Amino acid sequence: MTQVDSNPPKRSGKMTAFFVVGAILLVSAVGMSTATQYMHLHFRKLPVPLAKQLKELPDHFGPWVEVSIDEGLDHDVQDALATDKFIFRDYIDSRQVTQKEIDQFKDKTAKERRMLLAEIRVRKPLAVVNLGLTYYTGLADTVAHVPERCYVADGYEPTTYNIESWDVLKDRPGDHKLRYIIFEDSTPGRGSVTRNVAYFFNCNGLYMNDSIAVRMRLANLFEQYGYYMKVEVQTFNLSQQDSSRIMNDFLTYLLPESEKCLPDWNKISTSGAPTTESVEK
């Protein structure tokens, strides 16, 4: 007599569940794609070219005169920076130094210029400002290299951290604020150096002080394009009051020039296309 298995096979039930789940995922994918197209959502940002390359920034604006030479970066450093759109420059205030002191930088190597600048910085610290501009585009989830991380990694400790409203930003679109940080050298034997650093961003046409706010603006699904530029200025061994005054003065002359390099966001946001066909590689 043949014995009948009292436990029915479960394979068909599992296969049915598999196909049901697969069908749900397929419908969801099609639905998401349809919704994305219908609502014009953009999960990836297309790059936006600069209107002018940053290296075209003038070597002087107002009383501020560039005394450095635009140099490249080591391959590893540039890889870490994650962009090839950048300038790092030193400017001196012609109201604080003589023409002879400015002229001595002519025909000097980058190393010789740094030595001359260090001498002026010791004698006239109010006359020197360091500038860094870095431009990123086509990203939606990253804001790289804010001083809070980079300087600490280099052995500096923030002793003052403020979010401030400076005159230079009050009439410009955005939140009208920047981040001001004083860093003290915490590396034994390197010599005590105070770095006064101020920074902010221009992201899709708005000035913003907060890297998280920049990420949120870049993540706007209704925007097809996205960019941001970090503006960072620095003085050495100055009081907070003097440093803020000098950097605000410098930025007052800088921003009208640096804005000429930025894309016309009003045109991009209304026409849906950047000013040129592609970002220069």
User: How do residues 56-102 score in pLDDT, each as one tens digit?
Assistant: 999 999 999 999 999 888 888 888 888 899 999 999 999 999 999 99
Percent of the chain past pLDDT 90, that is, above it, reads 62
Q: How far apart are CA 180 and CA 196, in angstroms?
A: 7
pLDDT beyond 90 at 252? yes
**Burial tier of 206 (Cβ tally within 10 Å: 0-12, 13-18, 19+):** middle
User: What mean pLDDT value characterizes the chain?
Assistant: 85
At 187, the pLDDT band (50, 70, 90 cuts) reads confident
pLDDT at position 141 is 63
DSSP string, 63-130: TEEE-S------HHHHHHHT-S-EEEEEEEETTTS-HHHHHTTTT--HHHHHHHHHHHHHH-GGGEEE
pLDDT at position 152 is 86
- Sequence-distant (≥ 6) Cβ neighbours of residue 134 within 8 angstroms: 81, 83, 85, 86, 144, 145, 229, 230, 232
Q: Measure Cα distances from 153 to 58, 78, 150, 186 in Å.
A: 32, 17, 5, 11
Per-residue pLDDT, averaged over 101-119, amounts to 96
pLDDT beyond 50 at 205? yes
pTM (2 d.p.)? 0.81
pLDDT at position 15 is 64
